[in-house]
Amino acid sequence: MTSLRSLVSLTAVALIVISPAAALASTTLGLQRLQLKRGEAYIGARATLHRLGWDPVKSKSEERAEGDAGQMLRAGWSEVSYCSGTGRNFCAFIWKRRSQCALITTADEYYPKYRSPKIWAAEVDSCDRFLKSAGSQ
């Protein structure tokens, strides 16, 4: 889980501070490939991912039971893997299609029934990279 937390944190920091142009270019490719838009409500992105044949990956992390991650899990978002719980409240969600996985990072809090976190970044890569660090294998 620490690896996934580090990956989500590094993506967020890169987009904010380190190399915004390079990080934005990388995440823009992921967003385009998944037909998602930065700032889009995650609830809408879920529908897009399902329509494109992506399946949510259920994480085995025990950290998911608390905070926003716990609320999302109880709302049926089994793909939530981790939420920072502080600052921008970055959360990680993992989806799978064939041998590829998508790591979706959102920002902002989740409020049941009226507010969804917003898409912040997305990466598509081999499942091994994301699933091992998320404890989903």
pLDDT tens by residue, 57-76 = 987 766 667 788 888 888 88
**Which comes out higher in pLDDT, residue 39 or 65?**
39
Query: Is the overall model pTM greater than 0.75, yes or no?
Result: yes
pLDDT for the residue 17 = 45
Domain tally for the chain? Answer: 1
Burial 72-90 (b: 16+ CB within 10 A, else e): bbeeebebbbbbbeeebbb
Amino acid (one-letter) located at 68:
D
Please give the average per-residue pLDDT across 113-130, as a whole number.
87
**pLDDT tens digit sequence for 79-119:** 998 888 878 889 999 999 999 999 999 998 887 776 789 99
Task: Map tokens 């912040």 to a residue.
Answer: 120
Cβ(61)–Cβ(80) below 8 Å: no
pLDDT bracket for residue 26 (50, 70, 90): low
Residue among 123, 119, 126, 118 at smallest CA distance from 100: 126
Domain range for 43:
2-134
pLDDT for the residue 106 = 94
pLDDT bracket for residue 29 (50, 70, 90): confident
Percentage of the chain modeled with pLDDT above 90:
39
**Which comes out higher in pLDDT, residue 21 or 40?**
40
| Structure tokens, 51 | 């329509």
pLDDT for the residue 16 = 44
